[in-house]
Amino acid sequence: MSPPGRPKGESRSAQREGRPVGPPGRPKGESRSEPREGSPMNDAAEIGAPPLAQAMWIAAVASARLREGMPLERGLALAHERISAQIGGRRMHPRAAAAAKDIAFTAARHRALTDALIARLATRPPSEPVAALLGVALAQLATARHAAYAVVDQAVQAAKQDGATEGAAGFINAVLRNALRQFDALVDEAERDDAVRHNLPSWWLQRLQRDYPQHWQAIAELQREPPPLVLRVNLLRTTRAAYLERLAQAQLDATAVGTAGVWLHQACPVERIPGFTAGEVTVQDAGAQLAAEWLDLADGMAVLDACAAPGGKTAHLAALAAIDLTAVDIDAERAQRIDQNLARLGKHAGATVRVLVTDVLRAAREGRLPPDHYDRILLDAPCTASGIVRRHPDIPWLRRPEDVAQLPTQQARLLDALWPLLAPAGRLLFAVCSVFSEEGSQQIQRFVARTPGARLIPLPVRGGSGRLAEPTVQLVPAETDAGTAEGWPGVHDGFFYALLEKQS
């Protein structure tokens, strides 16, 4: 597998020398700087791609926040707001936010490499804002999406616009030009380190190697790639066959995955996905789609969806049977997305849905969630999210080794608090989007050992043989067209599942 952003068999230098330069809508060889007073670039409503310097500036500010522990999505929103206010909203290109997100995510996917290059090239350790802007620019050089000279020029222009970096504009220029003179050799040297080559903190890589001694490299390589775009077809509004035909008519290449999933091979904004606004489809990883199916719902059941936001699984549950569904999440802002998803997709199959914004642990202890009541419980527990790094490349840089101890403790508390809410013969599906054994198999082994009456129910396995799995299922990130008779997808993120039944 070639490094992300580089065609197979093509060297970095070959791409850079090809000068594929710049965004569409600009003559080759013409660079853009950040719009200034008196510049024709002041009007952001112009036709074409956003100025590279503007997008890099936003991305660098967000990347600096990431270094302080803020998730990229939040950092990008704050950076866009701050910079728009600073330069005036009219001068902010309408597509700057989207371009900045792409640049920031690219930088996160090359964080280990760019940190190594900065350490090698900088004569002194740069400040966090300067390091972030250098990281953004070096990642653009590594992927060769723009001509090298344009990246350097626009990085310097971006530096001059921000008080935190303007004094280092010359330093940034010198470091980037020095990097260009020896880029391939520097990258080859840095990538002798497995952690740099796979873009992971050393402690994270060591856990992967311990849990997956035969497959850690494949997992790490795949998680450096952008994620696949997988949809769940709302089968109460259309059939998957009809939807695939609709995509074919729109000349969109797609593959069926799982029982209701569609892998859209060309990513695009959700508003441009056919049928999305009308609620015919929703974006949901094929591995995540297994959760609702495995709960084996029937009309009249009382169902609890704990830790429910943003609501993809909630909507899926509501579409499968006429259930009495309670969805709980502690985050009010994220809980709003549950209502939004339900409104777009519809509360199908006669289900009634109640959304509670509260701490599910407290609600259980205070009796607001009644004991011995729920026929089914879905616990999609907080975790390291080590299985969804493709979608959130900032995750390895936000986590710390101690999180892999603290989060399993939180998961155990949730399991212990929710178990009494389950009715006799009821079932609880435990799910985490993690590939770490502490949050998966080890967690469930400990729970069953300390909980009388907790019995594991085997789940279907891949392979079309009709066999039953061992009591738990660990999915690792995968991307292939192959499917199975049981409906397991061949493309999915990393998930752990365990289905527990309460013996009376």
| Nearby residues of 186 by Cβ (< 8 Å), 6 or more positions away | 117, 120, 121, 179
**Is residue 433 annotated as a catalytic residue, yes or no?**
yes
Which SS3 state, helix, strand or coil, does residue 324 take? strand
Q: Which is the catalytic residue, given 268, 307, 383, 433?
A: 433
Q: CA-CA distance, 293 to 235, in Å (whole number)?
A: 13
- Partners of residue 186 on adjacent β-strands: none
Q: Identify whether the C-beta of residue 186 lies closer than 8 Å to the C-beta of residue 141.
A: no
Residue 434 — φ and ψ, nearest 5°? -135, 155
Strands (DSSP E) contained in 351-480 are 352-357, 374-380, 422-432, 454-457, 472-475, 478-479
Instruction: Give the β-pairing of 261-264 and 254-257.
Output: antiparallel
Confirm if 76 and 62 have CB atoms less than 8 A apart.
yes
How far is CA 18 from each of CA 12, 53, 146, 412, rounded to the nearest angstrom?
Answer: 10, 21, 10, 54
Separation of alpha carbons 32 and 498, rounded Å: 53
Q: Is the peptide bond before 310 cis (omega within 30 degrees of 0)?
A: yes
Distances, alpha carbon 110 to alpha carbons 99, 159, 190, 196, 242, in Å = 17, 20, 12, 8, 40
Rounded Cα distance between 300 and 298, Å, is: 6
d(CA 137, CA 65): 16
Question: What single-letter amino acid sits at 227?
Answer: P
Residue whose C-alpha is closest to residue 39's, from 25, 28, 53, 58: 53
Which residue type occupies 142?
Answer: A
Q: Give, as one character, the DSSP assignment of residue 272.
A: G
Burial per residue of 177-202, b for 16 or more beta-carbon CB atoms within 10 angstroms, e otherwise: ebbeeebeebbeebbeebbbbbbbbe
Q: Which residues are the active-site residues?
A: 433
